[in-house]
Amino acid sequence: MHLKREKGIKFAHYFNSELILLNVHEEFMNKREMIMSRVSVKTLENMYKEIASKAQDDLKKLIHDFKGDDIKVTILISNGKASKQIVNMSITHNADLIIMGINGKDSISDYILGTTTENVINKSIIPVITIPGVK
């Protein structure tokens, strides 16, 4: 996973670009789903805030570790279906390029529904570069 982020930072250095790092959490529920789960909405919201804050801190550390402190970086935390959020955010933020890592098909649903990367490639209106995972 770190190799993929390092490649993104190298791209940003090479092309003197801004990076928008998007961390999508599909496990987050909307308020209706929270209420139906019979768990306190406030408890779940606090848990999600902690997860999002940790993800943001981890991304900042990775940027620093890969010598990306001189790059303008925007970190976004989102919830929902990852492929949909990636495509929507690329449009909202007027991105020129999407760089994604690929891990392969890990579950039966990947074979039936396609992976996040496949879905982004099929739905994106801007170019998508994929970086294979390191196993």
Dump pLDDT digits (tens) for 55-107: 778 878 877 887 778 888 888 888 788 899 999 999 999 999 998 877 665 65
The CATH number for 32's domain is: 3.40.50.620
Q: What is the pTM of this model?
A: 0.70
pLDDT digits (tens, 9 = 90+) for 64-75: 887 778 888 888
Which pLDDT belongs to residue 106?
61
CA angle 130, 134, 135 (to 5 degrees): 130
Which pLDDT belongs to residue 113?
53
| CA pair distance 50, 44, nearest whole angstrom | 10
User: Which domain, by its residues, includes 17?
Assistant: 2-132
How far, in whole angstroms, is CA 16 from its chain's centroid?
21
Q: Is 47 left (phi over 0), alpha (psi -120 to 50) or beta?
A: alpha
φ/ψ of 49, rounded to 5, equals -65, -40
pLDDT digits (tens, 9 = 90+) for 108-130: 655 555 678 888 999 999 999 88
In the chain, how many domains are there?
Answer: 1
Mean pLDDT of the region 30-56: 68
Instruction: Please list, in sequence order, all residues whose beta carbon lies within 8 angstroms of the beta carbon of residue 80, skipping any fewer than 6 positions away.
Output: 24, 26, 28
Mean pLDDT of the region 19-34: 69
Share of the chain above pLDDT 70, in %: 72
Using DSSP's 3-state secondary structure scheme, residue 39 falls into coil
